[in-house]
Amino acid sequence: MSNKFLSQNDPKIAKILKKEQQRQQEVLEMIPSENFVSKAVLEALGSVATNKYAEGYPGKRYYGGCEYIDQIEQTAISRAKKLFNAEHVNVQPLSGAPMNLAVYSAFCQPGDTILGMDLSHGGHLTHGHPVTLSAKIYRFVRYTCDPKTGKLDYKAIEALAKAEKPKIVLAGFSAYSRNLNYKKFNAIAKKVGAISMMDMAHIAGLVAGKALENPVPIMDVVTTTTHKTLRGPRGGMIMCKQKYARQIDKAVFPGLQGGPHQNQIAALAVALHEAQKASFKKYAAQVLKNARVLCQELQAGGLKIVFGGTDNHLILADVTPLGLSGKEAEQALDEVGITVNKNIIPNDIRKPLDPSGIRLGTPALTTRGMKEPAMKKIGQMIIALLKNPHKISQKTAARKLVKELTQKFPLFYGV
């Protein structure tokens, strides 16, 4: 990454950024929501598109001089439509949280009910955690899964929907590792006159790469962040059936946001172009293969795999059988250069700030080119370390493997 002007004009920030780049190069990034974008995405993100105000939508702006910005946004929309087989796409959400809030506000009045996945069973903060604005405006009701198998009881969800009469039936997750039955979710929503919504933030890249089923043709509304498995800039995107297009667009702008971040939309267009390629299909398939191998190693080593395994890129593991908490496991791994996050597990008896689980995933390491043999080594090393988190020789061995792998599989922009 060249930063000639930055180094001259603001050496302080240039230096810190260099260190951050080096940190990314030198650790094994296993947080399942993170990834590494291409140089092309970075260039679009750092482009002159950031200078332009473009409130409104292509062809209907409140500002002059939008002819090229319109072309960029229209290209992003067309690519997303084609890639996900979507009838309508809004690429303006500034990030995932405002994206979901926009959808809720498009279909619900304050006090209305939304039915979503329980947060300790893998649902996301923006699906109605009590600390969020959404939870203060809307009434969230929750369904759960069987923590041992990850299975959802669709009959029970239907009964809940009939009793609670939600305006939105919401599927989607950030710590759930199994596949969902979108047809069943959609059928339940239709039975109670609700909108069916899927938040595929975590798995959008796997859907784009045809490794997982595409919910877009099935559900009324599908939201996604663009910076996780999709490997684009930080942002959000809403796809919906044509009949909801106006409602969604109005809810995003002027309902919730002002001027869109056009540099981010340009970078998204680039990421969507990359996601159409055969190489991205290979990437998505490899993310899944890697997750399965890693999951097997962790399970064989004594971790309890929540939901009984993984169908996607992430693993939620109960570390307490090895005699430590999620926070202790996160710290032990952090110390040797492996980044994961502590995570609450279903029916957790521990507190959210020191829960029983860790959540880890394979998207970022797969982008660096790592395959099954590396996953096997990493899984075995994680187990060895967590069994003996304070043993010096164990830490040294772990650091050595981290160094070996990060050098063998560099970030593509290098350090």
Ligand X SMILES: *Cc1c(COP(=O)(O)O)cnc(C)c1O
* Rounded to 5°, angle at Cα 408 from 405 and 411: 95
Known active-site residue 55: yes
Site membership for ligand X, residue 225 (CB under 6 A): yes
Strand-pair category, 341-343 with 338-339: unpaired
x/- binding map, residues 309-348, to ligand X, per CB under 6 A? ----------------------------------------
Site membership for ligand X, residue 359 (CB under 6 A): no
* Rounded to 5°, angle at Cα 265 from 259 and 270: 170
User: Could you tell me the smallest distance in angstroms from the CB atom of residue 99 to ligand X?
Assistant: 7
Site membership for ligand X, residue 33 (CB under 6 A): yes
Known active-site residue 182: no
Identify the sign of the CA torsion 95, 97, 100, 102.
negative
Question: Residues comprising the binding site?
Answer: 119, 123-125
The residues that bridge with 339 in the sheet, in sequence order, are 29
Maximum alpha-carbon separation in the chain: 64
Known active-site residue 164: no
Binders of ligand X among residues 197 to 216 (CB under 6 A) are 199, 201-202
Site membership for ligand X, residue 134 (CB under 6 A): no
Known active-site residue 330: no
Active-site position among 26, 53, 112, 281: 53
Per DSSP, which regions of 221-263 are E strands? 221-225, 236-240
Answer for the pair 96, 241: CB distance below 8 angstroms, yes or no: no
Q: How many of the other CB atoms lie within 10 Å of CB of 126?
A: 25
Which C-beta is closer to ligand X: that of 197 or that of 386? 197
Which C-beta is closer to ligand X: that of 136 or that of 277? 136
Total number of residues binding ligand X (CB under 6 A)? Answer: 14
Separation CA 393–CA 388 (nearest Å): 10
Active-site position among 55, 112, 118, 354: 55
Known active-site residue 144: no
User: Could you tell me the smallest distance in angstroms from the CB atom of residue 2 to ligand X?
Assistant: 28
The stretch among 94-102, 255-263, 309-317, 343-351 that binds ligand X (CB under 6 A) is: 94-102
The token duo for 276 is 């159409």
Active-site position among 234, 376, 377, 395: 234
Which C-beta is closer to ligand X: that of 175 or that of 322? 175
Cα 413 versus chain centre, distance: 22
Active-site position among 126, 223, 224, 225: 225
Known active-site residue 283: no
Question: Residues comprising the binding site for (6S)-5,6,7,8-tetrahydrofolate?
Answer: 119, 123-125
Which C-beta is closer to ligand X: that of 129 or that of 155? 129
Separation CA 53–CA 409 (nearest Å): 40
Which C-beta is closer to ligand X: that of 127 or that of 167? 127
User: Could you tell me the smallest distance in angstroms from the CB atom of residue 353 to ligand X?
Assistant: 19
> Minimal CA–CA distance to 49: which of 12, 31, 75?
75
The edge-to-edge listing of strands for the beta sheet with 195-199 is 88-90, 236-240, 221-225, 195-199, 168-172, 113-117, 139-143
What's at 384, amino acid-wise?
A
Q: Which residues bind ligand X (CB under 6 A)?
A: 33, 95-97, 100, 124, 126, 172-174, 199, 201-202, 225
The residues annotated with a catalytic role in the active site are 53, 55, 199, 225, 228, 234
